[in-house]
Amino acid sequence: MSASNKIIVFESKKIRRIYHNDEWWFSIVDVVSVLTDSTDAGAYWRKLKQRLIEEGSQVVTNCHGLKLEALDGKLRETDCANTQGMFRIIQSIPSPKTEPFKQWLAQVGYERVQEIENPELAQERMKELYKQKGYPKDWIDKRLRGIAIRQN
């Protein structure tokens, strides 16, 4: 597989992905398989897709058939979604395994609303993320000053 086509592993199951239009696109069937333990993830996705269309969801419209490597080694067209679309699909899957994703998305949404009300919170979050990544305090301070200077 080339650098633009990689398999990631989640809970020891493979999820195919491809870099397309400057972003990662993930195999929906692979994600459905991991999150539902369905014996036929393809049928589960077809039924979920039908339900989403009936509900008027636009997420299916934004899914693309991209060629990914199948079990037989051949490239086959597979329904794929980008990160945003995949999060929306995950929200539609009624499964205990999706609950941590749903809670995380709710938390992130809540934090962004707080940051809109108080932009200083976004700066504090950025500092904390850099700290968690192991950057030294001096580097973080210089980075923040650099950003402020560029904005002015």
With vertex at residue 85, the alpha carbon angle to CA 69 and CA 124, rounded to the nearest 5 degrees, is: 115
pLDDT score at 28: 95
Distance CA 60, CA 64 (A): 9
pLDDT score at 33: 92
Same domain, 15 and 49: yes
Same domain, 89 and 20: yes
The burial of 37, by beta-carbon neighbours within 10 Å (0-12 exposed, 13-18 middle, 19 or more buried), is given as middle
Top-confidence residue, 137 or 8: 137
- Residue in the block written with tokens 């994703």: 101
Q: Can you give the residue range of the structural domain that contains 69?
A: 5-94
Residue 108 lies in a domain: no
Residue 112 lies in a domain: no
Tally of domains within the chain? 2
Residue 100 lies in a domain: no
Tell me the pTM: 0.72
Residue 106 lies in a domain: no
Q: What is the mean pLDDT of residues 129-139?
A: 93
pLDDT tens digits for range 5-58: 555 655 567 889 999 999 999 999 999 998 997 899 999 999 999 999 999 988
Contact yes or no for 41/97 (Cβ under 8 A): no
pLDDT tens digits for range 64-121: 999 999 889 899 999 999 999 999 999 999 989 889 889 988 998 999 999 999 988 9
Residue 31 lies in a domain: yes
- Ranges of H-type helices in the chain: 28-36, 41-54, 83-91, 99-117, 120-132, 137-151
